[in-house]
Chains A and B, each alone.
Chain A
Amino acid sequence: MGRIRNHDRSAVAVAAAGGVALASLGLSAGLALAEGSVTIASWGGAYQEAQDKALFQPGAEATGIEVKQETYGGMSDVRLKVQAGAVPWDIVSSGSGSAARAAEEGLLEPLDYNIIDVSNFYPGLYTDTCVGSDVFSVVLAYNTNTFSEDKVPKTWADFFNPEQFPGKRAYRDKVSGALEPAIMADGASLEEVYKVLDSEEGINRAIERVRQLKPHIAVFWKSGAQHAQLMKDGEVDMTTGWNGRFDVAAKDGAKVAYTFNQGLLDYDCFAIPKGAPNKDLAMKFLATISTAEMQANLPLHITYGPTNKKAYEIGQIDDALARKMPSHPDNAALQVPISLEWYAKWEQKASQMYQDMLTE
């Protein structure tokens, strides 16, 4: 939740269908040879539905571990449960940033990478306490009616240039994923982004760009559902946002396209809360759903890429689908991976500065 809120990315209009599907999950998974059970908390909606179909159900079948599912409100819930000494969940699905901060607070069990094989993972998509589950991207999306073929915004500089690219914008309402595009628009290259932002002057430079664009920013968005809806309704002509959302919106007929160019590559991960009742089983289960075979299922259900590189090589994801994934090598090369270190060091400070700008 701290940075990029997964549950927000979950459902656009399909949430209702998700509820029904989720209700039947416990049952179907329960039919496996009960070796014991793990309880997984995730964000509900289309996101958890995809996780269920791609990872949880096949994982339960492969291991014989019964899977019980719940939804939760993020690491602040975990904190409460850990402090109360009553942790109901064995595995939680989290954003990478909030997982990193929860780890710092000692809310998570260390993961055993002798059991979970991450040798084929993209580097940086797992930490001591959290193993990557899917890769997504913060991208520049635009209305295909407003911007026709010959003149579409391709870079953050275009996004921050209302003279050349007139139109209403939407932008993130908090600091996560908001400073990187601004500093790139200000001339920083992909490699330089976090170097430039590693000082108050750098952060100020980025915020100043947002401040200048503010008259053209109609909405500061809070959630993935919101930025998808804004594009669908034509309320804004350009926005930042999570790529999977725009694919769902486009499938629903929204005039929206996006580019991976200068995108921010981020990931979600699974963690085990401190004091989880079935820690060992959870570790085993995580090992299974982190394999290339399981990871290769995910793109079939949502346009978020696998964290296990090998998933692309086993033939389950065809080339056309693979090219749509944020973590496809061609796409990944265009983007900058989110720096957890930067967020750990600067997020609270930068948030205050960003908020000062927002409330002006």
Chain B
Amino acid sequence: MSDAAARIAATDAATMLHGANAAELRASERGERRSLLGLTSPAVLLVLVIMVLPVGWLFYLSFIGSDGTFSMENYTRMLESKAYGRIFWTTFKVSFLTTGICIVIGYPLAYFLAQLPSRAANICMLAVLLPFWTSLLVRTYAWLVLLQRRGLINEWGMGLGLWGEPLPLVHNLNGTLIGMVHIMLPFLILPLYSSMKQISPDYLKAASNLGATPAQSFWQVFFPLSLPGLFAGSLIVFVLCLGFFVTPAVLGGGKVIMVSNQITNNIELFFNWGAASALGVVLLVLTLAILWGASKVLPLDNIIGGGH
């Protein structure tokens, strides 16, 4: 057999083999997909039952008027009353401020933790996590005790002559923000810390080796690499803030009315799930709109979507 003939025969055999293999491969791929589907189906079913159905039900209820028929009254009420606009504004304002303060406090803290040797970092992390394990309600009431007119902080401050009149620390926006930042801080620090830990110190060494000042190597190397963690943390904080109920209710003094608080008001006042559902729907839609807008500006894909 000549070389050429041999090569042709080999190629033929290869194509035949390949063709036969391809069918087999496809079959096994299908099988794999089926079994994968089988494996995920409980989770899919769960998501369907505990997520999609209730949200769908919520949408449906929001279009049911007080007389039990289809109606837009729950939505027109929101447009007619000035209060609703202000309540949504308050909700987003409080959430933005809380997220902002969390970033300002949390970033340096996470940075500090990431620089510590692991034993010390673990102990400090415990300090961050400890409040996390305490009931939200307990922490909120603890702030009330500390911040009120005759609370610990005002009594000491005035006792030491630092200020003359009790500071308005609680029953207003100040108190609400203090309480919410305290509760939300771990949600920012944890993802931020883990993304900072993944930044190899070698990058920073390389940067200084190439002549960067410490400030330059931080801002041009470390900071951009920590951004995914910062975005992830901020996003979690912001979205969780939107649904806050207890903290504004206890520390807001009835003046900081967020959407969740209004939902309970509506159920009590209108005796009607529709009026409350409509608020939930609007909050959900506004939140999704904001996240969508943010994803256009910020690289949120690798946080929300997971892939590219």
Contact = CB atoms under 8 A, between A and B. Distances in A.
Interface of A: 1-2, 5, 74-76, 79, 98, 101-102, 105, 168, 173-174, 218-222, 233-235, 347-348, 351-352, 355-356, 358-360
Nearest to B264: A222
B31 interface: no
B150 A359 contact: no
A75 to B, nearest CB: 7
A74 B268 contact: yes
A222 B255 CA distance: 11
A211 B232 CA distance: 42
Contact of A348 (B83, B87, B255, B269): B269
17 contacts: A79-B271, A102-B271, A174-B265, A218-B149, A219-B254, A222-B254, A233-B149, A234-B150, A235-B148, A348-B269, A351-B269, A352-B77, A358-B83, A358-B254, A359-B86, A359-B90, A360-B86
Contacts of A75: 271
Nearest to A219: B253
A105 B253 contact: no
B267 interface: yes
A79 B66 CA distance: 12
A43 to B, nearest CB: 14
Nearest to B141: A229
A359 B259 CA distance: 12
Contacts of A234: 149-150
Looking at chain B's contact residues, the main secondary structure is: helix
Contacts of A358: 83, 254-255, 257
B296 interface: no
Contacts, number: 65
- How many chain B residues sit at the interface, stated as a range, is 20 to 34
B270 A220 contact: no
Interface of B: 77, 81-83, 86-87, 90, 148-150, 171, 249, 253-255, 257, 265, 267-271
Contact of A221 (B90, B254, B269): B254
A351 B265 CA distance: 10
Given A234-B149, A235-B149, A76 B271 contact: yes
B219 to A, nearest CB: 41
Contacts of A220: 253-255
A359 B148 contact: no
B268 A76 contact: yes
A171 B265 CA distance: 16
B271 A2 contact: yes
A219 B256 CA distance: 10
A249 B265 CA distance: 27
Contacts of A360: 86
A359 B270 contact: no
A352 B268 contact: no
B257 A233 contact: no
